[in-house]
Amino acid sequence: TSSVTLRLVSSLVPTVPMSSHRIAVIGAGAAGLSAARELRREGHGVVIFERESKVGGTWIYTPAVESDPLGLDPARTVVHSSLYDSLRTNLPRECMGFLDYPFVAKGDDNRRFPGHREVLRYLEDFARDFEVDGMVRFGTEVVRVRMEGDGQWAVRWRRLGRDGDEDDKEELYEGVVICNGHYSEPRVAEIPGIEAWPGKQIHSHNYRVPDPFQSKVVVIIGSSASAVDISRDIARFAEEVHIADRSITEGTPIKQPGYDNMWLHSMIESTHEDGTVVFQDGSSANVDVIMHCTGYKFHFPFLETDGIVTVDDNRVGPLYKHVFPPSLAPWLSFVGLPWKVIPFPLVELQSKWLAGILSGRIALPSQEEMIKDVEALYLEMEIARRPKRYTHDISQYQFEYDYWLASECEHPGVEEWRKQMYVANGKNKIAFPESYRDKWEDEHLLAQALQDFKKLL
Ligand code: FAD
């Protein structure tokens, strides 16, 4: 069908001998740090552009929020991180860390599911230990990435100096690796009657602390990890919390175990001028705030590829193995797009793969073969009636994907205990959303992890 037919674009891949290249990496979060480390290990020259003043990306907590609480105003000053103050990881640290750099406790926060500051500490240690931090140009925002006719990439950046002067320059690179994260551009739910509804709306991107919700009646839309955490955070202060979950169509409202002020509902049916919110289950409440915990959009405002790479209903494409646009490979790549995964090991393997390809050590299939692979994925999704926006949700095959990347790199890949720990944690989280971070039964996997870490530490 036409939707699965991809344009075959004349290859811009220069024929180069096996050698090193000058590569720009955009972003110094987990993905950018990992990409830079692997690129340098392969002998490439790397510059990391980072808008913030330190490494860590999402894991740099800030109390600052955006001027538009829904995060929709394109003129807003973007706050990158979506962390809330109380956030603890939703994966055990052994499972979450990079494959060759165990995420072990170092004193301040020894919990297995630590708070966000401990993750930032880990990423800062990673950057320091592998001397990646010296490759970062901090306070430097990439505003345009454009491919030039001769196969080079023009990277335009701007930096605000201490004296308030703006520095604005363009530099040429042979390749660009995009690692700008995908939890900063909110997606909001469509709600009937919302224009006339008088209450306040906010996206979880701009949620930090529960105190402002004191005595309020709050609706939380969504069922993601953030929705689960935030609803419980807020329930300690709010008058009532109503969770609207579109995946539940009958049998609600259900009072949540352990709470006398929190209910689970089906989705919102309508909202009204008098402040009422009516749910599809027929119940209603007079509501002060609607919080959208409805996820994010992939967003590359700086990227100009003459339509070769597009974002269509949150499908970034065409991308071979979620990394390379076939006609621009290997000179343009994306690290960290897959979601519902264990992100750090995944970006580590993607980084090894792309760095090896750039140096000519690992081969890519032909452009035609890469396109066929992408088309096969799109067709499979179409047959399964899976909307495009789930293209990079690889929860059904994350470990096969990791394994495939590892085998391309001749790397042993993700350990068996890590896979089993991920599955055990997923089950524990569903069964005990309140306590999974402090009570578990995978001691045998933990013991195997610690045994493995001994070899690395
Ligand atoms: P980011 O960390 O977002 O880094 C992107 C970087 O790019 C940022 O530093 C940003 O400033 C920079 N940047 C963006 N645009 C530009 C530009 N134009 N110019 C220059 N720099 C730019 N993962 C887990 O493993 N465990 C968890 O428990 C977990 N919990 C999470 C909870 C929340 C609320 C969220 C939002 C995410 C969570 N994640 C978790 C996933 C998390 O996103 C990944 O762990 C990881 O941080 C992603 O790294 P990244 O490098 O892809 O993106």
Centroid of ligand 1 to alpha carbon of 443 (angstroms):
29
Cα–Cα dist 223/440, whole Å: 22
| Residue 180 in contact with ligand 1 by CB distance below 6 A | yes
Residue minimizing CA distance to atom 9 of ligand 1: 57
- The pair of three-digit structure tokens given for residue 405, joined into one six-digit string: 């990347």
Q: Is the CB of 295 under 6 A from ligand 1?
A: no
Asked whether residue 15 carries a pLDDT value surpassing 70, the answer given is no
pLDDT above 50 for 191: yes
Give the residue from 410, 335, 338, 327 showing the smallest Cα distance to 370: 327
- The model's pTM is 0.94
* Tokens describing residue 273: 């001028």
- 302 Cβ closer than 6 Å to some ligand 1 atom: yes
pLDDT of res. 18: 63
- Could you tell me the two tokens for 309? 């790479």
Instruction: Give the pLDDT band of residue 349 (cuts 50, 70, 90).
Output: very high
Q: Are strands 45-49 and 262-265 parallel, antiparallel or unpaired?
A: unpaired
323-342 pLDDT per residue, tens: 999 999 999 999 999 999 99
Res. 9: pLDDT tops 80: no
What are the tens digits of pLDDT across the range 273-316? Answer: 999 999 999 999 999 999 999 999 999 999 999 999 999 999 99
Contact 243, 232 (CB under 8 A): no
Query: What is the distance of C-alpha 363 from the center of its chain?
Result: 28
ipTM: 0.99
> Left if phi > 0, otherwise alpha if psi is -120 to 50, otherwise beta: which for 153?
beta
Distance 116 CA to ligand 1 centre (A): 12
Tokens found for residue 313: 């209903």
- How close is the Cα of 193 to the center of ligand 1, in Å? 34
Please name the residue whose Cα sits nearest to atom 27 of ligand 1: 89
C-alpha 431 – ligand 1 centre gap (Å): 27
> How far is Cα 124 from Cα 120, in angstroms, rounded to an integer?
6
Ligand 1 pocket: which of 58, 109, 179, 203 to mutate (most atoms <8 Å of CB)?
Answer: 58
Which residue's C-alpha comes closest to atom 3 of ligand 1?
A: 181
d(CA 317, CA 295): 19
